[in-house]
Amino acid sequence: MIAGARPASPRAPRYHEISVTTLLALLRQNRNYRYTWMAQVVSEIGDYFNNIAVFALVMEKSGSGLVVSGVMLSRAIPAVLAGPVAGVLLDRFDRKRIMISSDLVRAALALAFVLIIHQPRPWLLYLLSGALMFASPFFTSGRAAILPTIATADELHTANSLTQTTGWATLTAGTLLAGYSAAQFGYRWAFILNALSFVFSAWSI
């Protein structure tokens, strides 16, 4: 060491600066991530079509806050219970097949809501809502699990940021589009579009 020289300080970790340019570059250059992102956008917007339509249907037909609470619980509890199960299966079996299966199951369940529009019995709403939400973690957890495998180490930070940002963006866009769709075209089309969103998601994966 040169006399009087200060010891070198540890190099600070490098963080990749994220901008619109880097986000667009990721989507343009990484085909696998691009299709996974497309699946996220369409399926999450579709989720809000179902949410808005179901809650609006409950209030229109029953006007009961208790039934609304029941629907909310029937959606929340199964999703919590499914999380650990999804984690185990995604670790042991092919993640892509599980995600596609989740989408196809959810497409069938979303379409089943069409059958109860004119007879929205609470127990049917609870059953379909619970089954739909139970199937969801198999896709959402799978998406998080495959992210490190479809994005390089340099892309991973950007991919995580875009995935999280997209979640908030679809909340806004999905709620607006779902409310407009249910008001203009009725509950039937809201449920059909939700089902189609899952079919598109399965194709994208």
Q: Which residues contact 201 (CB under 8 A, 6 or more apart)?
A: 39, 40, 42, 43, 46, 103, 139
The dihedral sign for the CA sequence 200, 201, 204, 205: negative
Q: What is the pLDDT of residues 12-32, one digit of tens each?
A: 444 456 677 788 888 888 898
pTM of the predicted model over 0.85: no
Q: Which residues contact 112 (CB under 8 A, 6 or more apart)?
A: 128
pLDDT band at residue 110 under the 50/70/90 scheme: very high
List the one residue out of 143, 130, 131 whose CA is nearest residue 98: 143
pLDDT band at residue 1 under the 50/70/90 scheme: very low
Q: Where are the domains of the chain?
A: 31-204
For the chain, what percent of residues have pLDDT higher than 70? 91
What is the C-alpha to C-alpha distance for residues 182 and 191, in angstroms, rounded to an integer? 9
Both tokens of residue 201? 């998601």
Q: What is the pLDDT of residues 129-165, one digit of tens each?
A: 999 999 999 998 888 888 888 888 888 888 888 888 8
Q: What is the pLDDT of residues 91-100, one digit of tens each?
A: 899 888 999 9
CATH number 1.20.1250.20 given to 31-204: yes
Note the pLDDT of residue 17: 61
Q: Using an 8 Å Cβ cutoff, are 189 and 181 in contact?
A: yes
List the one residue out of 135, 138, 134, 129 whose CA is nearest residue 74: 129
Start-end of H helices in 62-186: 65-92, 95-112, 122-135, 137-150, 153-185
